[in-house]
């Protein structure tokens, strides 16, 4: 990365950190959304253990973990033999996650890092989740993220990626863009990309995944914006799970 993009990324991160830890109503809202609000924002994900037939052998990486609410729920349901790992680019989000965590075993698995350059060995995980990250990335960075996800998945591993999606109505999409950019700069609004299931499938195939299909995650109750989701990876022999 050249100096100019690095400085731009650092400035964006600093702005996000100030916002998420601030006293504005939107900051309170995003902190709630990342914590207790996950039960409404990610209701469909809480069925992952059952729908994917997961068990205690699951080695989970949650990319863009925020306050690690989903990570804790999956681990509590499965009693994972290996502590799950949550990665986020935001120190502020990870501080919130550490404050929420009462299990030192899980607290040690909170990692600061980039979604497009995962700081983990090849084949380290057999389940990767990634929510609400790709809207911030251009297509090249989404492919880079997915290539990294494929690298850290073991043979037989699966990944679930979900994001806010387009409605097909330009005016409603414009409104949704503004809602999603609340509390952030106009430049961040310009960077947001809402992609369809078909676009996520295409990017996953371009990243080299041999198994890609719609995840069809439902329901997402808040905010009332559509989601796009894909299930991808190298499924284990005899896999018959559904979402």
pLDDT higher than 90, residue 116: yes
Look at 94-108, 110-124, 141-155 and tell me which has the smallest mean pLDDT.
94-108
Compute the CA torsion angle 98, 119, 133, 21 (nearest 10 deg): 30
Confidence (pLDDT) at 2: 42
Q: Taking residues 146-159, report their average pLDDT.
A: 95
pLDDT at 7: 63
Question: Over the stretch 187-239, which tens digit does the pLDDT of each residue have?
Answer: 666 688 999 999 999 999 999 998 999 998 888 888 899 999 999 987 666 66
What pLDDT does 56 receive? 96
Considering only 11-25, 108-122, 225-239, which range has the smallest mean pLDDT? 11-25
What is the structure's pLDDT at 225? 92
Q: What's the average model confidence in pLDDT over 109-129?
A: 96
- Please compute the mean of the pLDDT values over residues 25-52 and round it to a whole number: 83
Which domains occur in the chain, in start order? 3-233 (3.40.50.150)
Mean pLDDT for the chain?
87
Residue 44 has what DSSP assignment? Answer: G
pLDDT reading at 5 higher than 60: no
Q: Please give the pLDDT value at position 4.
A: 46
> What's the pLDDT score for residue 234?
74
Q: What percent of the chain has pLDDT over 90?
A: 59
Show the 3-state SS of 136-189.
HCCHHHHHHHHHHHHHHEEEEEEEEEEEECCCCCHHHHHHHHHHHCCCCCHHHH
pLDDT at position 113, please? 94
pLDDT band at 13 (very low <50, low <70, confident <90, very high): confident
The pLDDT of residue 6 is above 70: no
CA dihedral 152, 40, 106, 28 (to 10 degrees): 110
For residue 110, pLDDT beyond 90: yes
Position 44 pLDDT exceeds 50: yes
pLDDT in tens, 167-200: 999 999 999 988 888 766 556 666 889 999 999 9
């Amino acid at each position: 990365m050249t100096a100019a993009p690095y400085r731009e990324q650092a400035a964006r991160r600093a702005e996000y950190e100030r916002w998420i830890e601030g006293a504005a109503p939107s900051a309170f809202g995003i902190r709630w959304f990342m914590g207790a609000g996950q039960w409404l924002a990610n209701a469909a994900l809480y069925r992952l253990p059952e729908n994917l037939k997961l068990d205690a052998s699951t080695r989970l990486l949650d990319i863009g973990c925020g306050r690690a609410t989903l990570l804790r729920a999956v681990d509590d349901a499965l009693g994972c033999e290996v502590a799950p790992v949550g990665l986020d680019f935001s120190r502020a989000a990870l501080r919130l996650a550490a404050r929420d965590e009462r299990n030192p075993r899980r607290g040690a698995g909170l990692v600061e890092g980039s979604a497009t350059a995962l700081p983990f060995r090849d084949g380290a995980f057999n389940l990767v989740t990634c929510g609400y990250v790709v809207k911030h990335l251009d297509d090249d960075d989404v492919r880079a993220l997915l290539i990294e996800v494929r690298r850290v998945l073991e043979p037989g591993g699966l990944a679930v990626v979900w994001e806010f999606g387009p409605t097909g109505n330009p005016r409603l999409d414009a409104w949704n863009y503004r809602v999603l950019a609340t509390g952030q700069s106009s430049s961040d609004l310009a960077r947001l990309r809402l992609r369809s299931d078909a676009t996520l499938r295409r990017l996953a195939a371009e990243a080299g995944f041999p198994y890609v299909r719609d995840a069809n995650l439902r329901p997402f109750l808040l905010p009332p914006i559509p989601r796009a989701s894909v299930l991808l990876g190298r499924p284990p022999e005899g896999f018959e799970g559904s979402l």
